[in-house]
Each structure stands twice: as C-alpha cells, then as structure tokens.
C-alpha cells in the first residue's frame, strides 16, 4: 500500500498540495484556543493573537474576493510590480549590454556601479516618495532600483562569457556590429538573464510592497500596514498569502517564457524505460 502512495514522480503534485494542507492543519492545531491545552503561552488565546488562525485567514481572503474589496489594492500592487519588473529589466539589459561592449565606459563607471549596488537601496524609498509622490511611481522607482542591478550584472556577465570562437565565426560570416549584438551577444546573454528574472520578480514585489508600506493609500502593502495598526494578525497573514500566490503566478509566467525562448538549451537527457 505504502509503496503505491509514497511520493514519486507521478503523484508529486498531490503530495505538494497535501503538504500545504498538512501545514495548515498543524497551524490550526497549534493556534486554536480550544483544541490543545496551552503549552507555551499562559493564555489559550495568545497563540491565536500572535500567529493568527488559518480558518480566519482563509475567510478573510474569501471575503476580500467576494466583496471585491481587494481588487483595487491587488491591481495597484500588481501594476507596480509589473512596471518595476519591466523597466528594471529593460534598463538592466540596455546598460548591461552597453557597459559590457564598451570597456572604457565600464572602466569609468565601475566604482559607481559597485557603490550603487552595495548601498541598501530600500533607504531610497522615502526619497522616491518625495520625488514621485505617494502614487504608484515611487513604488515603481524603488522596484526598478532593486531589479536593475540583478539583471544588469547578469547581462554583463552573459556578454563577457560569449564564446570567442562563436564570436569569431559570426564575424567571419560577415556579421556587422549590430548583427553581432542581435544574433550573438543578446542570445548568449539571455540564458543568464532568464535565471536572474526569477529573482527579479520577487524583488519587484519587494519594491512595491515596501514602498506601499512606507506611504500609500492603496495596495496590498497598505492593507497589511492598516491591519498591523489594529493588531489584526489574520489580515496580515491573508495579505502575505495573497502576495505569495501572485508572486508564484508571475514566476510561472517567466518560466513559460523561458521555456519558449530557451528551447535551444541542452537539457540533461533521460533514457526511457521500455
């Protein structure tokens, strides 16, 4: 019996969902004021107060979507994330390509890039708030500063690692500078870029939510901040769960794009058992 149901390739998805359900059950068991006798806190309600209760968290999410209250907030956070992701990636690609192909420019800017990268950029959020106001653009700006460096360094590395033989071959085949960029440097950098985009999606979310947290009138970060102000821990967790779910969706979209664009990459082959 166990042999049939134990985790294997075929039922992995079922087990993944089961694990989620199990962790929710564990969460419920440990925080319910009535189910187990209190073993750490002196008051049976304290565990629920600090860690929330899963059934209430899920009800909260359900309410949000049924009443439609969350849509405007979700929309704002998602649009900030997507814009930050898009602008950060485009800037990272453009400047990464430029600096990688121009040794003089990269030599000149090198210390500044290093300094800008090692600076904790979240502290820029208040400044962006002043510059761009409390609307979406201050959050987009913060997200861009986070995404940009990830993409930039990967493009830079990707271009530097272009195989010199492939490059020489393309030149001998008559490629001019523009064609080399389009047909050699860019495709070669893309595999590095895609591995960085998965990290970037998460950071674009961080930029949006931290920005909202520091000053906004809409967005999931704003919801979480409001809930925290009233010690409504269930709503805080609900916001976190919604954010996580949408981050997973965006990551999946990047994954689909990656598989479509990178189908030339070798995958480790598997033999088929007959």
What's the closest the beta carbon of residue 263 comes to other proteins, in angstroms? 8
The reply on whether position 259 binds other proteins by CB under 8 A is: no
Instruction: State the Cα–Cα distance between residues 157 and 77, nearest whole angstrom.
Output: 31
Residue 243 near residue 61, CB atoms below 8 Å: no
How far are the Cα atoms of 79, 114, 161, 259, 270 from residue 266, in angstroms, in the given order?
35, 33, 17, 12, 12
HSE of 188 in the Cβ direction (CA atoms, 13 Å)?
22
Instruction: Pick one of 4, 6, 263, 273: the residue that binds other proteins (CB under 8 A).
Output: 263
Instruction: Pick one of 122, 134, 175, 247: the residue that binds other proteins (CB under 8 A).
Output: 175
Instruction: Pick one of 19, 26, 166, 217: the residue that binds other proteins (CB under 8 A).
Output: 166
Interface with other proteins (CB under 8 A), residue total: 22
Which residues from 184-213 bind other proteins, rule CB under 8 A?
A: 184, 187-188, 190
What's the closest the beta carbon of residue 170 comes to other proteins, in angstroms? 7
Instruction: State the Cα–Cα distance between residues 180 and 163, nearest whole angstrom.
Output: 12
The reply on whether position 103 binds other proteins by CB under 8 A is: no
The reply on whether position 174 binds other proteins by CB under 8 A is: yes
In which residue are the tokens 């272009």 written? 162
Instruction: Pick one of 86, 170, 241, 254: the residue that binds other proteins (CB under 8 A).
Output: 170
The reply on whether position 266 binds other proteins by CB under 8 A is: yes
Binding segment toward other proteins, per CB under 8 A, in 6-14, 37-45, 129-137, 263-271: 263-271
The reply on whether position 230 binds other proteins by CB under 8 A is: no
Instruction: Pick one of 104, 115, 165, 274: the residue that binds other proteins (CB under 8 A).
Output: 165
In which residue are the tokens 């979480």 written? 224
The reply on whether position 97 binds other proteins by CB under 8 A is: no
Residue 121 near residue 146, CB atoms below 8 Å: yes
The reply on whether position 260 binds other proteins by CB under 8 A is: no
The reply on whether position 181 binds other proteins by CB under 8 A is: no
Nearest CA to 90 among 204, 184, 260, 178?
204
Find the largest Cα–Cα distance for the chain: 78
Rg of the chain over all Cα atoms, to the nearest angstrom = 24
Phi, psi of 54 (to 5 degrees): -60, -40
What's the closest the beta carbon of residue 87 comes to other proteins, in angstroms? 26
Which residues from 47-86 bind other proteins, rule CB under 8 A?
A: none
Instruction: Pick one of 68, 264, 272, 273: the residue that binds other proteins (CB under 8 A).
Output: 264
The reply on whether position 107 binds other proteins by CB under 8 A is: no
Chain contacts with other proteins (rule: CB under 8 A) = 163, 165-166, 168-176, 179, 183-184, 187-188, 190, 263-266
């Amino acid at each position: 019996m166990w042999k049939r149901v134990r985790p294997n390739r075929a039922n992995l998805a079922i087990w993944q969902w089961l694990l989620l359900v199990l962790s929710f059950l564990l969460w419920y068991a440990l925080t319910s004021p009535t189910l187990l006798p209190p073993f750490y806190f002196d008051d049976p309600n304290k565990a629920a107060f600090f860690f929330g209760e899963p059934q209430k968290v899920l009800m909260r999410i359900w309410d949000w979507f049924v009443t439609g209250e969350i849509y405007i907030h979700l929309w704002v956070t998602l649009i900030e994330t997507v814009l930050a992701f898009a602008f950060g990636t485009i800037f990272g690609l453009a400047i990464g390509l430029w600096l990688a192909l121009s040794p003089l420019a990269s030599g000149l800017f090198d210390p500044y890039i290093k300094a800008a990268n090692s600076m904790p950029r979240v502290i820029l959020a208040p400044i962006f708030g002043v510059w761009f106001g409390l609307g979406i653009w201050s959050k987009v700006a913060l997200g861009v500063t986070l995404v940009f460096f990830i993409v930039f360094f990967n493009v830079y590395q990707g271009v530097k690692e272009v195989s010199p033989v492939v490059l020489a071959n393309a030149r001998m085949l008559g490629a001019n500078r523009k064609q080399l960029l389009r047909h050699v440097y860019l495709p070669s950098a893309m595999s590095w870029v895609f591995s960085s985009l998965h990290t970037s999606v998460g950071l674009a979310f961080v930029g949006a939510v931290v920005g909202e947290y520091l000053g906004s009138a809409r967005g999931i970060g704003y919801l979480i901040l409001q809930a925290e102000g009233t010690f409504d821990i269930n709503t805080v967790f609900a916001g976190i769960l919604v954010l996580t779910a949408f981050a997973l969706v965006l990551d999946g979209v990047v994954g689909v794009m990656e598989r479509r664009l990178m189908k030339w990459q070798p995958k480790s082959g598997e033999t088929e058992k007959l």
